[in-house]
Amino acid sequence: GAGVSQSPSNKVTEKGKDVELRCDPISGHTALYWYRQSLGQGLEFLIYFQGNSAPDKSGLPSDRFSAERTGGSVSTLTIQRTQQEDSAVYLCASSVAGGGTDTQYFGPGTRLTVL
Amino acid sequence: AQSVTQLGSHVSVSEGALVLLRCNYSSSVPPYLFWYVQYPNQGLQLLLKYTSAATLVKGINGFEAEFKKSETSFHLTKPSAHMSDAAEYFCAVTRSGYSTLTFGKGTMLLVSP
């Protein structure tokens, strides 16, 4: 596809369950980012992948959050034992090569609701 | 550390009026600055970015922003608002050697006929 795609678009889960959110970046983009958008906290960085380098996990809020990127393309964000405060829109973005001047292209997001 | 402050969570203008959305940044090193727009239930779309070239940056949809180091500002303007400009606008900052963006809280632009 032409842009970043994310699935599912909406996810409703019960507290304590695990969830997986998927991101398909733009083909050829080596950098991939996850952000979280919530009413209370605004837009927050979660994790950043660049090529084969170790990911920058400095934004992950707890050890319940993890992410992987397979084959330098698709990424999955996993939240274990979900809590109500995890309810938010999870946005994925990709860019050509990373670096401060690179434009990040965002997907439409996954809206997660934890009951 | 870097941070961005967007003054005004909501800004209301009439169609045809000047749009001014304010962004002030804090950075200990020269920043790179971005404005993104988000329409309902969509992801963020880049409007324009400043990456240390010209201080007056022109973007899409008639928007522009001026980097003012002395004022640590990067305000977004458009001479004449359209109804289609109604959306949420985010200012973001990063720096050389650093890839992730730090966002402001966002400003919702409301355009009335």
For residue B97, the model assigns a pLDDT of 79
DSSP letter for B87, please. Answer: E
**Which of A21-25, A43-47, A87-91, A94-98 has the weakest average pLDDT?**
A94-98
Comparing CB atoms, the residue among A91, A98, A109 nearest residue B99 is: A98
- Residue A1, pLDDT > 60, answer no
Please provide the DSSP assignment of B11-43 as one string. Answer: EEEETTSPEEEEEEEE-SS-EEEEEEEE-TTS-
B22 in Cβ contact with B7 (< 8 Å): yes
Q: Which of residues 51 through 110 in chain A touch B, CB cutoff 8 A? A: 56, 59, 91, 93, 95, 98-109
Express each pLDDT in B18-64 by its tens digit: 999 999 999 888 899 999 999 988 889 999 999 987 899 999 999 99
The rounded mean pLDDT for chain A is: 94
For residue A64, the model assigns a pLDDT of 98
Distance CA A84, CA B74 (A): 36
Q: How far is CA A17 from the centre of its chain?
A: 18
Comparing CB atoms, the residue among B97, B99, B105 nearest residue A48 is: B99
Find tokens 């959050």 and name the residue: A65
User: Which structure tokens are listed for A99?
Assistant: 């670096």
User: Which structure tokens are listed for B16?
Assistant: 């045809």
Q: How far is CA B47 from CA A77, A114, B76, in A?
A: 27, 33, 10
- Residue A40, pLDDT > 80, answer no
Express each pLDDT in B91-105 by its tens digit: 999 988 778 899 999
Find tokens 């973005």 and name the residue: A93
User: Which structure tokens are listed for A104?
Assistant: 């990040």
